Amino acid sequence: MMETLHFYPEAVKFTPLATIRRERQLPIPGKVLVQRGDAVEATTVLAIAEQPAGVVIVDIARALKVSPERATAYLQRKPGASVRAQEVLARRRIWLGLRTLRARSPVDGEIVVAGGGKVLIRAGARSLELRAGFPGRVVEVLPAYGAVIETTGALIQAFWSSGADFSGMIRIVTSGAEPLRARAIDPVAQGTIVVGGAWIEPSALEQAERLQVRGIIAGSMEASLLPMLRDLSFPVVLTEGFGRLPMHPGIFRIFSLYQGREAFVLRPPAGPDGWPGRPEILIPVPTESPPPPEPAGEVHLHPGVRVRLLREPYRGRTGTVSELSPRPWTLDSGLRSWCAEIQLDGEEGRVWVPVYNVEVLRS
């Protein structure tokens, strides 16, 4: 008899109140500027690092007319030393000391390497700053890389974001699961994050650009609008996907609950496969006692689990698992898969879908 198999679909979280911790890290080692216990704002710089901006190569062997092996013997400055433009890097006397050959630095910078008859000078450096991204408290310092920040409030994991981290006051402009159109965005929306309960119409993007909003959060958008986003001055966040999908009612409720509060949108760094993680929307809410931590760990698929369906013909629908198939079944597509029976929300009845076509909703 076959043992019971467990399936662990991906999970998406949205919770109105939890204790939230996030690691914020530099991509390369640098210097951490905060300490454990520090209160930070979204703009607080947690850590800095320097990246070389450009490198200049100086062929000292050629300038001194010696072989590359002998050239380093004539160096006047060693790796690590800073140099000014026109400063002598290496010198060699010839003709019994009557004449001197010199190799000079063409730029201000720092000597990083000397070898093979050449000297490399790092000309300037780009400063890399890591900001907190949201207000909170430092609960752990990650030496040389950053810190773990904790806050309390709402957390919503979205599907996709067009831009970098941003923040602004939440302003809901639709009354529910209706498309976001230009007329819904009035001048009061200027400088806010506009939230729409369904998909975005092209006219809304134009109007939002005119009014200089901070960003748009909606359920979905046609992928054909992607080129249009490149010319916009604000980012767009989708909670459900591309196409015409309404925002999940639970997510819309959280936005409604915190209308007027400041939201912070974070774009997690790329995972080990290079693919960026889900964008996250944090809405800090001060509390007297700390709420429970956000849901963590994996959930295996079993009756009672809340799920969102990912593929046609049920894409975007939500429901509750009522049963798992006892063996793999052949789908209409011809593929074979273990399946889960889902009681769809509303009056839509029950459907069977492959276990790989659901994500667990954790709230």
Residues that bind other proteins (CB under 8 A): 2-6, 8, 10, 52, 54-57, 59, 68, 112-113, 115-118, 120, 122, 159-160, 222-224, 226, 241-243, 271-275, 277, 296, 298, 310-313, 315, 330-337, 353-354, 356-357, 359
The whole-angstrom separation of Cα 184 and Cα 234 is 17
Cis peptide before 249 (omega within 30 of 0): no
Query: Which residue, 39 or 335, is less far from other proteins as judged by CB?
Result: 335
Query: Which residue, 188 or 226, is less far from other proteins as judged by CB?
Result: 226
Helix (H/G/I), strand (E/B), else coil: 189: helix
In the complex, the smallest distance separating the C-beta of residue 354 from other proteins, rounded to whole angstroms, is: 5
Given the structure tokens 């890389």, which residue do they identify? Answer: 145
The HSE-up count of residue 346 (CA atoms within 13 Å, CB side) is 6
In the complex, the smallest distance separating the C-beta of residue 175 from other proteins, rounded to whole angstroms, is: 25
Query: Which residue, 34 or 358, is less far from other proteins as judged by CB?
Result: 358
Query: Which residue, 8 or 82, is less far from other proteins as judged by CB?
Result: 8
CB 83 within 8 A of CB 104: no
Instruction: Label the pairing between strands 329-330 and 192-195.
Output: unpaired
From the list 164, 130, 139, the residue with the least C-alpha distance to 293 is 139
In the complex, the smallest distance separating the C-beta of residue 59 from other proteins, rounded to whole angstroms, is: 8
Alpha carbon distances (Å) from 7 to 232, 278, 334: 41, 21, 21
The whole-angstrom separation of Cα 196 and Cα 205 is 12
Query: Which residue, 85 or 335, is less far from other proteins as judged by CB?
Result: 335
In the complex, the smallest distance separating the C-beta of residue 170 from other proteins, rounded to whole angstroms, is: 25
In the complex, the smallest distance separating the C-beta of residue 226 from other proteins, rounded to whole angstroms, is: 8
